Structure formats: structure tokens, C-alpha cells
């Protein structure tokens, strides 16, 4: 079941028609900037809106974004059962919780996530990221942290791959050496050592 529908049943969300008037924070893939503590008052007074669809289909929805405060979410990993472990593939509740956290609403973040068995894992899995994001005062700082984190992760994966390739190469070399040793032994398998010694003594 869609997490947005479940939140609606708990009275934490309400459904809105497309292009309804909304003065809060609208999460979109084309947001003007990242959600941050700068948005605290907007969230507090006017709320958060999530769109229950794949971002790949967003452009076909023809949503009028004029005079709406659109925002992006930074790099985070999903823990929902459908997209567990996938970056940016957040469910509605994960997106809402992330927005609350980035806006400085920490108790509200836990409250929303606690309506799902796996909810608390969202914070646990992304703890390193949330700890860094928590120190950011605005969207620009968040963007810088996100870019550095992604860059460091890519570099780390590259180094691990190179180390793995090196280990594989070394093992292959060892195997070749072992094969060569066996071949040399086979070369002398049919040699009569007594005859060889006798011939060498006559030289």
C-alpha cells in the first residue's frame, strides 16, 4: 500500500487535486533548491506536499509550478520494502520525514516514521548523511555536502575495485608460477639421474 495513503488514514496527510492552491513546500524533481532550515517557517505554517508518482512521469502531469515553493531532497537511501537500498527512490513517508528533518522538525520526523515498522530504519541507514545535513543552515551548504559525499563514495568504490583487480591479478600470477613449476618437474620426469651424473663426471 502507498505510504501516502496510509498517512492519510492516520490523518497526517490529505489528498489535493493537481494545481490546487498551495503555499507550503512542494517536493519535485525540478525544485529550485534543496529543503533546509531556511524553510522552517514555511513548513510550520503551510506544510509539505508530495506527489505520489514516479519522477519519470512528472513532466507529463503538467503541474503549474508558478508561485509555488518547489524543493529538492539531497542524496538519501530508501529503506521502504519496494526500493530498499536505492538512492533517491524514497516513498511518500520517507520524503515527508526527510523534509521535516532538514527543516529542523526532529520530533515530528520520528513521529511520522513511527507509523511504519521499518520507519526508524530510514534514519539509521542514513545516519551519517543526516548528521552532516543537520549542520547545514541553507540549501547551498546542503548541496555542497551532498556533492562531496557522492564524490567521496565514488572515489572509494573506484579504489576498492582497483584493489580487487590487483588481488585477482596477483592470484593469477601465483597460479601461473605454480603451473610453471609443475611443468619444469614434468620435464625431468623421465630422466635417469644416475646416467646424468655419470655423464657429467666424465666431462
pLDDT at 168 > cutoff 70:
no
Residue 158 domain-assigned? no
pLDDT in tens, 29-46: 878 799 999 999 999 999
Residue 23 domain-assigned? yes
pLDDT in tens, 78-113: 999 999 999 999 999 999 999 999 999 999 999 999
d(CA 164, CA 51): 42
Residue 202 domain-assigned? no
Residue 153 domain-assigned? no
Going from the C-alpha of 100 to that of each of 38, 82, 170, the distances in angstroms are 12, 22, 50
Q: pLDDT band at residue 117, thresholds of 50, 70 and 90? A: very high
Q: pLDDT band at residue 57, thresholds of 50, 70 and 90? A: low
Residue 115 domain-assigned? yes
pLDDT at 202 > cutoff 90:
no
* Range from 10-24, 59-73, 81-95 that averages highest in pLDDT: 81-95
Q: pLDDT band at residue 186, thresholds of 50, 70 and 90? A: very low
Residue 90 domain-assigned? yes
Q: Which among 2, 7, 4 is positioned nearest to 115, based on CA atoms?
A: 7
**What residue numbers bound the domain in which 93 lies?**
3-138
Q: Are 8 and 50 in contact (CB under 8 A)?
A: no
Going from the C-alpha of 130 to that of each of 100, 102, 155, the distances in angstroms are 12, 8, 21
Residue 190 domain-assigned? no
Q: Which pLDDT does position 60 carry in this prediction? A: 62
Residue 196 domain-assigned? no
Q: How many domains does the chain have?
A: 1
Which is more confident, 183 or 16? Answer: 16
Amino acid at each position: 500500500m502507498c505510504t501516502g495513503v496510509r498517512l492519510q488514514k492516520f490523518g497526517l496527510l490529505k489528498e489535493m487535486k493537481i494545481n490546487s492552491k498551495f503555499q507550503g513546500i512542494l517536493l519535485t524533481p525540478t525544485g529550485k533548491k534543496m529543503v533546509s532550515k531556511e524553510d522552517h517557517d514555511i513548513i510550520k505554517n503551510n506544510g509539505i506536499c508530495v506527489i505520489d508518482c514516479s519522477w519519470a512521469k512528472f513532466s507529463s502531469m503538467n503541474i503549474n509550478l508558478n508561485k509555488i515553493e518547489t524543493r529538492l531532497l539531497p542524496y538519501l537511501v530508501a529503506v521502504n520494502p519496494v526500493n530498499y537500498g536505492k538512492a533517491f527512490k524514497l516513498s511518500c513517508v520517507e520524503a515527508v520525514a526527510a523534509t521535516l528533518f532538514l527543516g529542523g522538525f526532529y520530533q515530528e520526523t520520528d513521529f511520522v516514521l513511527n507509523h511504519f515498522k521499518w520507519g526508524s530504519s530510514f534514519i539509521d541507514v542514513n545516519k551519517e548523511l543526516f548528521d552532516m545535513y543537520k549542520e547545514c543552515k541553507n540549501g547551498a551548504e546542503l548541496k555542497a555536502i551532498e556533492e562531496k559525499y557522492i564524490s567521496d563514495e565514488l572515489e572509494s568504490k573506484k579504489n576498492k575495485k582497483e584493489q580487487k583487480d590487483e588481488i585477482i591479478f596477483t592470484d593469477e600470477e601465483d597460479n601461473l608460477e605454480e603451473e610453471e613449476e609443475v611443468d619444469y618437474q614434468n620435464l625431468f620426469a623421465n630422466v635417469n639421474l644416475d646416467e646424468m651424473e655419470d655423464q657429467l663426471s666424465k666431462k
